């Protein structure tokens, strides 16, 4: 007969793997479809322009990349409007935040390019019993308590959520990207990030 503890471990590990892979697979499929469309558009444009290559680079691929850059720039312009920000916020609130890991990866990506919001997602140190752990400030409640996500190591996308009194956290001048890198390295590099 199978060990119940071992079956529980297998089940939770399997579910955790599925929850991790689902958003990754969705992104890969969407990007793959977009690249397929852009390759066809680049090939059609290359035929119209009667160009086969530019400096040894196949014209369809170069044009596909230029189309992608132009689309990203235009999307960036549209995203700066208040209407687009409101629509994006509604889509995030109703759909995207329900995808496991979406909020974490969004903040992590913003941290990598230096565009993260301060306050929400700030890296903090959280006191759990007699130890301090990296955490992320998720929300300040009306009664003054703090909602913090304390990630695991080395995989920072899973962890635990705690509601804490303010005396159990410390602000640190560390970006999310730096904290996640430190967690991936099982704490190596902490001495250069943390000052008590």
Confidence of residue 126 (pLDDT cuts 50, 70, 90): very high
User: Given this model, what pLDDT does residue 73 score?
Assistant: 87
Domain-wise residue ranges, the chain:
4-100, 123-193
pTM of the entire predicted model: 0.49
User: Given this model, what pLDDT does residue 132 score?
Assistant: 92
Is residue 101's pLDDT more than 70?
A: no
Structure tokens at 110: 């913003």
**Higher per-residue pLDDT: 196 or 165:** 165
User: Given this model, what pLDDT does residue 24 score?
Assistant: 74
Let me know: does 144 contact 164? Beta carbons within 8 Å: no
Q: What is the rounded CA–CA span in Å between residue 100 and residue 93?
A: 13
Q: What is the rounded CA–CA span in Å between residue 134 and residue 163?
A: 15
* Model confidence pLDDT, tens digit, residues 26-80: 778 877 787 778 888 888 888 888 877 777 777 787 888 788 788 888 888 887 8
Q: What is the rounded CA–CA span in Å between residue 144 and residue 5?
A: 39
Confidence of residue 14 (pLDDT cuts 50, 70, 90): confident
Let me know: does 182 contact 134? Beta carbons within 8 Å: yes
């Amino acid at each position: 007969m199978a060990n119940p503890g071992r079956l529980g471990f297998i089940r939770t590990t399997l579910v955790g793997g599925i929850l991790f892979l689902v958003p990754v697979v969705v992104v890969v499929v969407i990007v793959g479809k977009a690249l397929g469309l852009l390759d066809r558009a680049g090939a059609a444009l290359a035929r119209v322009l009667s160009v086969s290559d530019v400096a040894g680079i196949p014209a369809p691929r170069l044009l596909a990349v230029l189309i992608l850059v132009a689309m990203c720039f235009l999307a960036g312009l549209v995203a700066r409007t208040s209407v687009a920000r409101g629509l994006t916020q509604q889509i995030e609130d109703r759909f995207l935040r329900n995808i496991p890991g979406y909020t974490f990866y969004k903040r992590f990506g913003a941290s990598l390019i230096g565009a993260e919001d301060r306050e929400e997602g700030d890296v903090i140190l959280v006191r759990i019993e007699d130890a301090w752990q990296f955490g992320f400030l998720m929300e300040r409640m009306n009664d003054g308590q703090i909602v913090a996500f304390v990630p695991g190591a080395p995989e920072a996308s899973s962890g635990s959520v705690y509601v804490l009194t303010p005396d159990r956290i410390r602000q640190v001048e560390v970006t999310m990207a730096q904290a996640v890198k430190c967690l991936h390295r099982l704490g190596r590099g902490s001495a250069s990030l943390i000052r008590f």
